[in-house]
Amino acid sequence: MTSLSDIKRRTLFALLAGYLLFDYAFMQIRIPPSGFGVPLGEIFLIFVLMTTDIPLVLSRLSSIVYLLPFLVWWTYGIGRAADDAMGRGFWALRDATSVIESLYVIVGFAIAGGTNTIERLARWLPIILAITCVYGLGYAFKSEIQAISPSVIGAAREPLPLLGDYAITGTVMLWTAFYCLIVSWKAGIWRHLRVPIAGLLIAFVITIIQARTSYLQLLGIVVILLLFRPRAIGRLAVALPILFFFVFVVSAFDLHIAGRLSDKVSFSFLAEHIETIFGIGTNDPGSLGMAAQGVDMRFGWWETIYERLTADSATLLTGLGYGIPLTNFHDEFGDLVREPHNSYISVVARLGVLGFVAWAWMQVELFRGWLRAYRASQRARWQDGEIVLLMIVAFAVLVLIEAIGEDALEKPYHAIPLYTLWGMALRIAYAFNESACIKTDAPAPAQHFARKAGASSQ
């Protein structure tokens, strides 16, 4: 008979798969399916919180991290959203998704206490990454895929194709490349293919998806490898020439590829694309010039927010609140862009210095709790646990880098997987901490979840 904890785990994994595969369209699926329905992610969040012993979870979390910033962030942020919703309506709750979905730390922590959940995550994650990467290869034909895709109804009552959005695909491909670089297969064909696969994924992201943050994300991967897997740097050094070889071939034979910004890729294109990160090339014709102009437009938004935020000391401390757009820009569909394409600025704009300090401190605590779990896994020689934890921190770094130039943390397909995985990392740290407290040799964490920490999935 299926237990409640099994139902929660399976539902959570299904949700994560939906967000990683279908990203923007999947986050629009809600009940009821039209109008201002409740999204699936929030429905599951409410269900888990209602069936979880929250005081017990918080007491266990407090043995791993300082709870103060979490409590300030959640109580102030959600309280502010509820208050703003009374006067500004539904959009206040929509704007507060970044704080609401950070509660998935509790969801991840609670569900990871179930029997063998971390082991199942270790088996499930490579499968969903492989499926997402295969699906992502259709990026070059996204228009054709969207044309034949079934649709869901968006919040503005517009039809959205379920397939072909690929908003998070570049990040997932780089995440998969990172997995190929750190995992060790002792035998079989995959041992020889992992580095070429990593190189091909990196080349696809850079030359086809053509997102500026990909260069910064790749740099983030290098830093993680240097800090925690230095021996994998050699594999990356072998994988990167695949990118350069691909660009050389495309440029030498004047091949045209269906990239996001340009169908002609060359080394000069890559150099100019990197320059657009800093707003260089605004006068250049074509898509690269428009991309560079987008940086200036963002700076204009941020400057306006700064002026509004510093109008008086009270606003600077408590923020502008939820339910109001932070820009006056309309996209090509006529929809108002509510966030300034920088999640850090969105946090301080919405909740002021008070909210930003709590949020930033919470991020520090999440990394600190992760580090405790990773070091404990190393001491226990739990290699599968090390891989899972490295994948968690890699995803966090990739998302936090993307949040510099996009409203990543305001999107459920980034925020829900991010905070869920953070919660699972903290559960691993808690399991090791419990082993130390009872002064016994620390068993493998997967066994410990089943025997001790997993005695209750709360």
- The number of angstroms, rounded, from the C-alpha of 440 to the middle of its chain's C-alpha atoms is 36
Domain residue spans of the chain: 4-455
| Per-residue model confidence (pLDDT) at position 262 | 76
**Which residue is associated with the tokens 């898509």?**
287
Residue in 166, 406, 408 with CA at minimum distance from that of residue 294? 406
pLDDT of residue 155: 67
Q: How far apart are CA 25 and CA 19, in angstroms?
A: 9
H, E, C per residue of the chain: CCCHHHHHHHHHHHHHHHHHHHHHHHHCCEECCCCCCEEHHHHHHHHHHHCCCHHHHHHHHCCCCCCHHHHHHHHHHHHHHHHHHHHHCHHHHHHCHHHHHHHHHHHHHHHCCCCCHHHHHHHHHHHHHHHHHHHHHHHHHHHHHHHHCCEEECCCCCEEECCCCCCCHHHHHHHHHHHHHHCCCCCCHHHHHHHHHHHHHHHHHHHHHCCCHHHHHHHHHHHHHHHHCHHHHHHHHHHHHHHHHHHHHHHHCCCCCCCCCCCCCCHHHHHHHHHHHHCCCCCCCCHHHHHHHHHHHHHHHHHHHHHHHCCCHHHHHHCCCCCCCCCCCECCCCCECCCCCCHHHHHHHHHHHHHHHHHHHHHHHHHHHHHHHHHHHHHCCCHHHHHHHHHHHHHHHHHHHHHHHCCHHHCHHHHHHHHHHHHHHHHHHHHHHHHHHCCCCCCCHHHHHHHCHHHCCC
Phi, psi dihedrals of residue 30, rounded to the nearest 5° = -150, 170
Q: Which two tokens stand for residue 265?
A: 């890729």
Read off the tokens for 93. Answer: 């709750």
The pLDDT value given to residue 268: 85
Q: What is the pLDDT of residues 52-108, one digit of tens each?
A: 999 999 999 999 999 999 999 999 999 999 999 998 888 898 899 999 999 999 999
The pLDDT of residue 444 is 53
Cβ-count burial of 285 within 10 angstroms (0-12 exposed, 13-18 middle, 19+ buried)? exposed
Angle between helices 383-405 and 213-228 (to 10 degrees): 150
pTM of the model: 0.92
Other CB atoms within a 10 A radius of the CB of residue 345 amount to 22
Q: For position 257, what pLDDT does the model report?
A: 79
pLDDT lower than 70: segments of the chain: 1, 34-35, 155-156, 185-190, 281-294, 330-335, 435-458
pLDDT for the residue 243: 87
- Which pLDDT score is estimated for 359? 98
- What pLDDT does residue 450 have? 40
